[in-house]
Structure 1
Amino acid sequence: MLSRIEDTAVRACLAGGRHLRDRFDADVDAEFARHDVKAAADRASEERMLAVIEESCPDHAVYAEESGDVSTGGDYQWVVDPLDGTNNFVSGLPSFATAAAVLVGDGGRPRNDEADETGLADDDGPVVGCVYVPVTDDLYVARRGEGVTLNGEPVTADGGVPTAKATVGFVIGHDVKLDDRMDEAVTMQSALAGATKRVVESWSPCVHWGALARGRLDGMVCFYPDDEEQHVGELLAAEAGASIARPGDGVYVAATTESVRDDLLATIE
């Protein structure tokens, strides 16, 4: 079953991502708001991804970023992000991706006392994940207990850079920008900037999760992240062997080494 689901996730992400690549740098059809942007390419990519999923897995629950709950019920739940990095896409910046995660259980993230050393509960959360970065033609695939591949080759989140030389991605959820949690996010980002070489404010988290999974990015710090990117990101991090922590209060930290992880935690406390 998981092999079929994995194959479907790959085909869905490629279908959406290749459409995005064809439309990239063309005339922008988008609606701009203060804290968000909606692009026609987003919806078109989602249509192509959903067509693949619905044909192969008609009995699965599906949640898509643009459409919401497409279907409910079943033992598996899909979480689909048809364009991670919409703002980048419409701005002509080549950092964007398509992503899909498939979850079992109730779909929620485990409590700290339910998580194993990878940060995932035994019978809950993502079991298959796929991220496709169209511009670089990078395809990341993760399956619970079987690691991560990049374009078919295994990768790991190995690293040896000390925290002071580390490059770290910082992710905040969309809702954070709308309330007083944004003040806390700004404080966290400033503290991280003082402790590391560089903090990348991530507008395309799935791209950066892939970079962490292959050991190119040294850490990721998330503050109330959005499910569309976080489920697949957590699976990539866990299966790539990253050191993970969930201190609570909407915070998730992953790094290539335990020492960097611990330093990042201490920095944002």
Structure 2
Amino acid sequence: MDSFEGTAVEACRVAGEYLVSEFERESLDADYGPDDVKAVADRGSERRILDILAAAYPDHGVFAEESGKRVGESEYRWVVDPLDGTNNFCSGIPYFGTAVALLRGNEPILSVIHDPLHDDTYIAKRGDGATLNGEPIRAKSTVSSDHATIAFVIGIDVLRDEELNARGDELESNLSGYGKRVWRSWAPILDWGLLARGKLEAVVCFHPDDVEQHAGWLLAEESGARLANEGDLFVATASDELSGELKSLF
């Protein structure tokens, strides 16, 4: 696990340094679709991550956002989100990051999330807790539920399906009845980091994308968040009070 962790941290940091350099010189070339945007920086970041992973573990499988699936000979598989928050990145909004999760079989056992603009690195290992820059963190908030900030996350599939989109709108409307603010950041991996350190009160995901969900859910679990899941709806909270209230979503 130490070797896996070190490799994942290195990959995220190298990619993060590249992203910061591109962001600061406003290198924002991208392909804009009706419901998504793909920056040149997405591919550049992913290439740097995959080069490091392949050099260290050539027999491992990989599922990466840009290049898709590569089957390996090992039981291990890396899930890579090279630039979460591409819309923010291309709009000059300083809220984006990189994430790598390692699965053994179908179970996430390692999560590394890197916020390159703040040089913050979150790490979660199954059964071993969660850390921020090497210090233990806990998903614990004393903010009352009526003052809570709730991050709401939808996957790209929701935007492309009329029925799912309607259900997403319904969920967001229901969430507005709880807390102070429903937050859509378009960089879920950083939302997971804020939850894990007690800065957000909840993260609610509907049909989330795999490349970000594996890393985020394990970080929430290992930081002690209260978790609930039914189908493609996932709820994680930093307080018992809000956890009880959000059960009505299921």
Matched ranges for 1:36-55 at <5 A: 36-55=36-55
Partner residue in 1 for 2:61: 61
The DSSP-based 3-state class of the residue aligned with 2:177 is helix
Q: Which runs of 4+ in 1 moved over 4 A?
A: none
Partner of residue 190 from structure 1, selected from 173, 194, 200 = 173
- Matching residue's letter, 2:131: T
Instruction: Find out whether 1:140 has 2:112 as its counterpart.
Output: no
Structure 1 distance, partners of 2:121, 2:231, is 32
Amino acid corresponding to residue 225 of structure 1 in structure 2: P
Letter paired with 2:8:
A
Q: 1:233 aligns with which of 209, 216, 220?
A: 216
Instruction: For structure 1, list consecutive stretches of 5 or more residues without a partner in the other structure.
Output: 108-124
Distance (whole Å) between structure 1 residues aligned to residue 95 and residue 247 of structure 2: 27
In the alignment of these two chains, the number of paired residues is 248
Q: Deviations over 1:72-122 (max 9, x none)?
A: 3311110000000100000000110010000112x2xxxxxxxxxxxxxxx
Please give the alpha-carbon distance, in whole angstroms, between the structure 2 residues aligned to 1:187 and 1:73.
Answer: 43
- TM-score using structure 1 length: 0.90
- Once the two structures are superposed, the pairs formed by residues 1-269 of structure 1 within 5 Å of their partners are 2-25=1-24, 26-105=26-105, 107=106, 125-179=107-161, 180-246=163-229, 248-266=230-248, 268-269=249-250
Alignment-mate amino acid for residue 41 of structure 1: A
Cα shift at 1:59: 1.4
Quote the Cα distance in structure 2 between the aligned partners of 1:263 and 1:95.
29
Task: Please report how far the alpha carbon of residue 198 of structure 1 lies from its aligned counterpart in structure 2 after TM superposition.
Answer: 0.4
Take 2:155 and 2:219, find their aligned partners in 1: how far apart are those partners?
19
Q: Alignment partner of 2:176: what SS?
A: helix
The separation in 2 between residues aligned to 1:254 and 1:21, in whole angstroms, is 29
- Give the drift of 1:7: 0.7
Offset of residue 196 of structure 1: 1.3
The 2-side partners of 1:202 and 1:72 are apart by 34
Deviations 1:15-62 (A, max 9, x none): 111100110041311010110001100000001000110111111111
Percent same amino acid at aligned positions? 46
Mapped partners of 2:27, 2:3: distance in 1: 37
State the alpha-carbon separation in 2 of the partners of residues 261 and 255 from structure 1: 6
Using the TM superposition, give the Cα deviation of residue 262 of structure 1 relative to its aligned residue in structure 2, in angstroms: 1.8
Deviates more, 1:224-233 or 1:22-31: 22-31
Q: What does the per-residue CA deviation read over 1:177-221, in whole Å, with 9 as the maximum and x for residues that have no partner?
A: 111111111111111112210011130000000000000010000
Q: What 5-or-longer segments of structure 2 have no aligned partner?
A: none
Provide the TM-score with structure 2 as the length reference.
0.97
Question: What is the one-letter code of the residue matched to 1:97?
Answer: G
Deviation at 1:71, TM superposition (A): 3.8
3-state SS, counterpart of residue 214 of structure 2: helix
> Secondary structure, in 3 states, of the residue corresponding to 1:95?
coil
